[in-house]
Amino acid sequence: MSNPLADMDKPDVIFCIGTNMTECHPVAATRLKRALARGAKMIVADPRRIGLAEIADVHLPIRVGSDVSLLLAMAHVIAREGLVDQAFIDERTTQGEDFMKHVERYTPEWASGICECDPGDIEKAALLYGGADRGAIYYTVGITEHICGVDNVQSLCNLALMTGNLGREGTGVNPMRGQNNIQGAGDAGALPNNYPGFQAVTVPAHQEKFHKAYGRKVDLETGMTKVTALDLCGDGIHAMIINGENTLVTDPDRHHCEHALKSLDCLVVIDIFMTETAKVADVVFPATAWAETDGVCTNTERRVQRLRAAVPPPGDAKPDWWIVSRLAQRMGWKGFEFESAKEVFNELCSLSPIYAGLDWDRIDRGEHQWPVPTRDHPGTPRLHEEGFENGRGIFKMLEYRDPEETLSDEYPMWLTTGRRLPQYHTRTQTGRSGGIDYLLSEETLEVHPDDIARLGLQDGGWAELSNPRGCLHVKVRATAKSPKGTVFASFAFEDVPVNVLTGGGYDPVTQTAALKACPVALKPVGPPPALGQAGAGAMTIPGGM
């Protein structure tokens, strides 16, 4: 996030897009609700009538994957109505003039033909955000998990740049990160293009620094992404070490994943449960879990916080860092003689400019948000206050692109996927925590009542979802939360593995999978033969991440 969580109760106008925050980041959503109680207005763009949409001033039920068209039209209205922050544009951005010209042709009427929203509502949303003194944008993977994920994010940046909604309290462009330490995994350098602290691997000075630190020359070119690596399994990639990810269930196109992992000569999995992915490994190492592990994590607002062990791990389980460093030692490599998490974290701090002012003891109370460049630096709750790191904010001239796969006579419905409040990811943790299944014990496919009638489905009955990649059966739930023509399911339950269907391409820049827009066919089927009284989900043992 560009701005701290504490800023979330301060905007005049909140713009949430592709974020089901009340279910996926419930505590952050409470701050937005407090802002609304104080009088703030909220725009919610989401295909589904999610919890946030229920309390929004404007809900834009966009067609999945059409975000760029909506955001271009909003920019058009803001420019046309003179709601731009010209001083901000002049002082801090470049190509503003070109951008204003670029958006002239993208009217709400034009966008309406793509995103299927009422042009009047698009106009209203644009006037609200453009007219705000403090406008804040919040998004999640509903924005990024598309073939145009980067375009979507840059479209949001364009809106913030043209209205000067960056670098001030209650503003910003704020991605909500979905996992407790997904920010930290990137911070720590687990990226093919960056050393720790987002230092590009292609910059000679960075290469020199790590050569010196690690005593080994590192390749000068960027590594491949996980997506490419999975494509090349058995053909260039012959071994994988997977730490705490249930790749088989969480990645798109399950059959492809399964084939990829099985064609490796060596798969090493480090996890806390025997996940589907661990089951196909050659070696499985048992890791310590949350509340058994001392360590550090970074949250969505870049706050660096301590994790503390409260109980001993089961049996011989060991911390991940210990496992990997001991494996390195067995490989015969020097420099992996770490004895504590503190030692590991302090080495990370010594090599990362954004953590340079931190160490294990200094983060004890979680007071710092990176960058913390020096020992006496208080941290940076709000980015871009004085200026942008790379000079000026650059307007991007974007065009709308269709998803890689679009609707056809054969596959006439959109499937979109996500999470639900009580269950987390593939239920490895929530499914094994007492009581959670009381709130949600099985997966259902959310279908608009008109589609139910049109397709001959029944509320509570079963449906077959299929596309060329796969097929699954799922119980149907009638709800106007889904728009007509779009169905929704979460990826929480093992017996409804929606990732057999998803997989319609990747963003060309980040290679983030398009998990939110997937054409499918939908037809009624009978209940599964072996099904008892409770529904399949209630009887399965949870697996996966």
Partner 1 sequence: MKRNGTATTNGAPRPEGAPRTKGVQLTMTLDGEKVAFTRGETVYEVAERHRREIPTLCYDPRLDPFGGCRLCVVELEGARNPVASCTTKAEPGMRVRTRSAALEVQRRILMEMVASENRDTDVDPMHGYASQEMAELLDRYDARTGRFEGALSGTSRPDDDNPFIKRDYENCISCYRCVRVCAEQEGDYAISVMNRGFHTQITTEFGGLLKDSACTFCGQCIQTCPTGALGDLKALANKDVPGETETTRTICPYCGVGCTVDVMTRGEKIVGVLPAMDGPANEGALCVKGQFAFDFVGHPDRLATPFIREDKSGQLRPASWDEALDFAAGKLRRVVKDHGRRAVYGIASGRAPHEAAYMMQRFIRAGLGTNHIDNCSRA
Residues 227-246 that bind partner 1 (CB under 8 A): 227, 229, 236-245
* Gap between the Cα atoms of 244 and 231, Å rounded: 20
Q: How far is the CB of 83 from partner 1 (least distance, A)?
A: 29
Question: Pattern 135-174, binding to partner 1, x per CB under 8 A?
Answer: ----------x-----------------------------
Q: Which is nearer to partner 1, 130 or 543 (CB)?
A: 543
* By the rule CB under 8 A, 45 interacts with partner 1: no
Q: How far is the CB of 308 from partner 1 (least distance, A)?
A: 5
Side chain identity at 402, as an amino acid letter? D
By C-alpha distance, which of 398, 464, 363, 370 is closest to 72?
A: 398
Distance, first Cα to last Cα, the chain? 25
* By the rule CB under 8 A, 418 interacts with partner 1: no
How far from the centroid of its chain's Cα atoms is residue 131's Cα?
A: 29
Choose which of 165, 325, 466, 486 interacts with partner 1 (CB under 8 A).
325
* By the rule CB under 8 A, 417 interacts with partner 1: no
Print burial letters for 340-379: b (CB count within 10 Å at least 16), e (below 16). ebeebbeebbebbbbbbbbbbeebeeeebbbbbeeeeeeb
Q: Which is nearer to partner 1, 426 or 482 (CB)?
A: 426
Q: How far is the CB of 132 from partner 1 (least distance, A)?
A: 21
Stretch that binds partner 1, among 70-78, 89-97, 158-166, 362-370 (CB under 8 A): 362-370
Q: How far is the CB of 198 from partner 1 (least distance, A)?
A: 12
Side chain identity at 201, as an amino acid letter? V
* By the rule CB under 8 A, 485 interacts with partner 1: no
Q: DSSP letters of 134-195?
A: SEEEEE-HHHHSSTTHHHHHHHHHHHHHHHT-SSSTT-EEEE--SSTTHHHHHHTT-SSSEE
* Gap between the Cα atoms of 35 and 19, Å rounded: 17
Q: How far is the CB of 172 from partner 1 (least distance, A)?
A: 16
Question: Within 10 Å of residue 458's Cβ, how many Cβ atoms?
Answer: 14
Q: How far is the CB of 456 from partner 1 (least distance, A)?
A: 30
Q: Which is nearer to partner 1, 164 or 197 (CB)?
A: 197
In this structure, are residues 145 and 363 in contact, taking their beta carbons and an 8 Å threshold? no
Q: How far is the CB of 225 from partner 1 (least distance, A)?
A: 5
Q: Which is nearer to partner 1, 102 or 382 (CB)?
A: 382
Q: Which is nearer to partner 1, 105 or 330 (CB)?
A: 330
Q: Which is nearer to partner 1, 112 or 369 (CB)?
A: 369
Choose which of 119, 131, 178, 449 interacts with partner 1 (CB under 8 A).
178
- Written as six digits, the tokens of 424 are 């987390």
How far from the centroid of its chain's Cα atoms is residue 343's Cα?
A: 30
By C-alpha distance, which of 26, 28, 81, 20 is closest to 56?
A: 20
* By the rule CB under 8 A, 205 interacts with partner 1: no
Contacts to partner 1 from residues 263-322, by CB under 8 A: 265-266, 268, 271-274, 278-279, 281-287, 289-293, 295-301, 303, 305-312, 314-321
Contacts to partner 1 from residues 17-36, by CB under 8 A: 22, 24-30, 33-34, 36
* By the rule CB under 8 A, 212 interacts with partner 1: no
* Gap between the Cα atoms of 157 and 540, Å rounded: 43
* By the rule CB under 8 A, 509 interacts with partner 1: no
367-375 contacts: CB < 8 A, separation 24 or more?
A: 368/303, 368/304, 369/4, 369/301, 369/302, 369/303, 369/304, 370/187, 370/298, 370/302, 370/304, 372/304
Contacts to partner 1 from residues 50-109, by CB under 8 A: 55
